[in-house]
Amino acid sequence: MTSAKPTVLIVEDEPAQREVLRYNLEAEGYAVSCAENGEEALLMVQEGAPDLIVLDWMLPNVSGIEVCRQLKMRGETKAIPVIMLSARSEEVDRVRGLETGADDYVIKPYSVAELMARVRTQLRRVRPTAVGEQLTYQDIVLDAETYRVTRGDNEIKLGPTEFRLLSTFMEKPGRVYSRDQLLDRVWGRDIYVDTRTVDVHIGRLRKALTRHGGDDPLRTVRGAGYALG
Ligand code: CA
């Protein structure tokens, strides 16, 4: 069964450190991309927002602090969790790092296990189903670890695309997603799929969710898209 991997952007100018991070994050099952400096990082985020950023403080030209500040100033990027890495251990620096809006702060040399745990904590907040959490909406329960969905006492059988659609909706009930947003999240931005395909899969998801009775929890928002609840 497929599930879109959480995406992590590493921003680190030292190649050896970058590779250690890449190796460990890929081993955890994340899709990893790397930037060597702050300018490159900001451009990459503009092209496609990652789910999380691991950002080194000490970078040439634009420092990690400045990159973080810029990301947290913009509406489209401020929700992306940033874990700041730093060799500076003084409390005042830690405070400064968190004041720029960094979501967490890890001091070098760090323990890989601890960093991975913190990455997971941040991702759980923004992509709960991608890290195997269980989500509940009214009588619908989705378990992202076992790929099981139940409604009341009934098991709901879903194809991989319908499962990912439902995960997306259940992560943010009430949020309206346009067809293009759903294509990006569920199919991925590199695949060309007609927007009408979204309607077809929404139809299948609706049918599966209401097969054993119960109201249709999906709402069609005219001219805008779809929402759960
Ligand atoms: Ca560095």
**Cα 157 to middle of ligand 1, angstroms:** 48
Find the 94 Cα to ligand 1 centroid distance in Å. Answer: 16
- What distance in Å separates the CA atoms of residue 110 and residue 144, rounded to the nearest whole number? 30
Residue 97 has what pLDDT? 73
Ligand 1 centroid vs 14 CA: distance in angstroms? Answer: 6
**Residue 172 C-beta-side C-alpha neighbours within 13 Å:** 11
Give residue 59 CA to ligand 1 midpoint distance, Å: 5
Render pLDDT for 196-222 as a digit per residue (tens, 0 to 9): 999 999 999 999 999 999 999 999 999
Helix (H) / strand (E) element for 46: namely helix 38-47
Task: Compute, in angstroms, the gap from residue 142 CA to the centroid of ligand 1.
Answer: 40
Tell me the residue ranges of DSSP E strands in the chain: 7-11, 31-35, 52-56, 82-86, 104-107, 134-137, 140-143, 148-151, 154-156, 218-221, 225-228
Ligand 1 centre distance from Cα of residue 83 (Å) = 14
Residue 128: per-residue pLDDT: 80
158 CA to centre of ligand 1 in angstroms: 45
Compute the distance from residue 86 Cα to the ligand 1 centre, in Å. 8
Per-residue model confidence (pLDDT) at position 179: 93
CA 73 – ligand 1 centroid, Å? 23
* Ligand 1 centroid distance, CA of 84 (Å): 11
Indicate the pTM of the whole model.
0.71
Measure 80 CA to ligand 1 centroid, in angstroms. Answer: 21
Given a contact cutoff of 8 angstroms between Cβ atoms, the answer to whether 54 and 83 are in contact is: yes
Centroid of ligand 1 to alpha carbon of 12 (angstroms): 5
Packing angle between helix 64-73 and helix 91-99, nearest 10 degrees? 30
All domains of the chain, ordered by start, with CATH? 7-126 (3.40.50.2300), 130-228 (1.10.10.10)
Expressed in angstroms and rounded, the spacing between residue 222 Cα and the centre of ligand 1 is 49
Whole-number pLDDT of residue 93: 73
Residue 178 alpha carbon to ligand 1 centre in Å: 39
Q: What is the pLDDT along the chain (229 residues), one digit of tens a residue?
A: 334 688 999 999 999 999 999 999 999 999 999 999 999 999 999 988 899 999 999 999 999 999 999 999 998 899 899 999 988 666 677 777 778 889 998 988 899 999 999 999 999 888 887 777 889 999 999 998 888 999 999 999 999 999 999 999 998 899 999 998 898 888 876 677 888 999 999 999 999 999 999 999 999 999 999 999 9
Per-residue confidence (pLDDT) for residue 27, from 0 to 100: 95
How far apart are the CA of 85 and the centre of ligand 1, in A? Answer: 9
d(CA 166, CA 18): 35
103 CA distance to ligand 1 middle (Å): 19
